[in-house]
Amino acid sequence: MAQHGAHLTSVEADRPTIFEVLAQESLSTTIRPAAKHAIKVLAENRPDRFGWMLQYFDEVYTVLDFIVQNHYLNKYGGSFAENFYDLRRIVSSTKSPFLPRNLKWKSLICLVILPYLKLKVDKLFEDIRHRSHYTIKDGITKAFLGVYPYINMIWEGTNLWYQLAYMFGKSNYHSWLLRYSGTELSRISEDDLWIPSPQTPVTSWADKSFQKKIISICSKLFKWTAVSLSTGVSVAVFFLQFLDWWYQREDKAVSLTSLPIPDPPQDGNEELSAPVCPICNQKRQNETALSVSGHVFCYRCIYSYINQHGSCPVSSYPATLDHLIKLYPPDT
């Protein structure tokens, strides 16, 4: 009886809190936008060299993320974000810290492949939905627009259910993706650092065949790339956390009223007040205001312009899609 109680105490002590779990998830979702912003800055300064990286950012990031996560799963038994918070993955059925190959691949699918596919589907949905003022005759497109919000609701709702169940101790999984991978999260203890990993027999370089030498070189190159990326990401994460702390401190001392008022736009075109879109010079369709400048455009025109240029076409003030405000005039 006492042994059973000691075992339960050990398991509970190794179980991460909901705050640790959410912290590692927050870190994993923060790296992508930070990396995209860095690539965007490089592409704006050197479009000839880095423009393609911004155009295919999702694919480039997914490949690099796959390399990093594979390295951390093989060496530390967890993802980069999990290892950052001293967490690891253990086999759900046996509680073993050594993940077999099939569970590593399942974990990679849940960490890299499925989030990438969902991101692309989300972008496809938003792209089609923003063209809603056109007549969509394709039955598949109509079905997709009608069904996908419910699929996304089920996805997010299931994750929320698992998080609540984990928080109240009713589940060992904080997400359905973790359950699908067949693993659980556990804290890394000092004893775990001394557990030897299974060793494979070492063959001398002279005894290897030409094919095995090529495979060995590729394997070492892959590991070197993974270690370099992991080190770079670790340094970048510490730097991002420092910047976040610095700007939060500065924001406390600076209010909106103390910010300098920008100069008014120099364009003296009086026709901007007419119901004409400044971009297409036609009557506005689906009127949308840009909050940073106050000008009104066609939704399609301003959405495409901001996606490409990131600024107001009239005042040149920096702008994002979050600054768009849909208008509903009384005569429509």
> In CATH, what number is assigned to the domain containing residue 308?
3.30.40.10
Q: Which has the minimum average pLDDT: 125-134, 157-166, 229-238?
A: 229-238
From 121, 254, 115, select the one nearest 177 (Cα to Cα): 115
Segment 307-324 mean pLDDT: 86
- Where does a domain end: 143, 159, 189? 189
Q: Is the pLDDT of residue 209 over 70?
A: no
Residues 174 and 286 in one domain: no
Q: Is the pLDDT of residue 81 over 50?
A: yes
Strand partners, 283: 276
Segment 242-250 mean pLDDT: 57
pLDDT digits (tens, 9 = 90+) for 36-54: 887 887 788 888 888 888 8
Write the burial class of residue 179 (CB in 10 Å: 0-12 exposed, 13-18 middle, 19+ buried): middle
From 279, 278, 291, select the one nearest 327 (Cα to Cα): 291
Q: Give me the pLDDT at residue 233, please.
A: 57
Place of tokens 């592409």: 43
Q: Which has the minimum average pLDDT: 26-35, 97-106, 278-287?
A: 26-35
Q: Is residue 207 part of a domain?
A: no
- Where does a domain end: 189, 220, 237? 189
Residues 285 and 138 in one domain: no
Q: Is the pLDDT of residue 259 over 80?
A: no
* 130 vs 206, higher pLDDT: 130
Write the burial class of residue 278 (CB in 10 Å: 0-12 exposed, 13-18 middle, 19+ buried): buried
Amino acid 219 reads S
Q: Is the pLDDT of residue 12 over 80?
A: no
Output DSSP code: residue 166.
H
**Cα separations in angstroms, 61 against 109, 156, 177, 224, 291:** 15, 23, 20, 18, 32
Residues 278 and 178 in one domain: no
Rounded distance between C-alpha atoms, residue 230 and residue 115, angstroms: 20
Q: Is residue 112 part of a domain?
A: yes
Q: Which has the minimum average pLDDT: 114-123, 229-238, 312-321?
A: 229-238
* 85 vs 208, higher pLDDT: 85
Q: Is residue 34 part of a domain?
A: yes
The tokens of 276 are what? Answer: 């004409």
Residues 120 and 23 in one domain: yes
Rounded distance between C-alpha atoms, residue 83 and residue 91, angstroms: 16
Q: Is residue 67 part of a domain?
A: yes
- Please give the angle made by the CA atoms of 145, 127 and 67, to the nearest 5 degrees: 105
Given the DSSP bridges, would you call strands 296-298 and 324-326 parallel, antiparallel or unpaired? unpaired
**Do the Cβ atoms of 280 and 313 come closer than 8 Å?**
no
Strand partners, 169: none
Residues 27 and 128 in one domain: yes
Output DSSP code: residue 200.
P
pLDDT class of 225 with cuts at 50, 70, 90: low
Residues 57 and 176 in one domain: yes
Segment 150-161 mean pLDDT: 93
Q: Give me the pLDDT at residue 260, please.
A: 61
**Consecutive H or E run containing 88:** strand 87-91
pTM over 0.85: no
**Cα separations in angstroms, 255 against 209, 252, 259, 293:** 68, 7, 7, 20
Q: Is residue 267 part of a domain?
A: no
Q: Is the pLDDT of residue 219 over 70?
A: no
| Count of domains for the chain | 2
Q: Is residue 144 part of a domain?
A: yes
Residues 6+ apart with CB under 8 A from 216: 205, 208
Structural domain of 307: 272-326
How many CB atoms are located within 10 Å of the residue 87 CB?
22
**Consecutive H or E run containing 89:** strand 87-91
How high does pLDDT run on average in the chain? 77
Q: Is the pLDDT of residue 153 over 90?
A: yes
Write the burial class of residue 68 (CB in 10 Å: 0-12 exposed, 13-18 middle, 19+ buried): buried
Amino acid 58 reads D
Rounded distance between C-alpha atoms, residue 219 and residue 200, angstroms: 14
Residues 25 and 158 in one domain: yes
Residues 15 and 119 in one domain: yes
* 46 vs 176, higher pLDDT: 176
Residues 30 and 158 in one domain: yes
Q: Is the pLDDT of residue 148 over 60?
A: yes
Rounded distance between C-alpha atoms, residue 228 and residue 71, angstroms: 11
The torsion angle over the Cα atoms of residues 103, 173, 194 and 106, rounded to 10 degrees, is 10
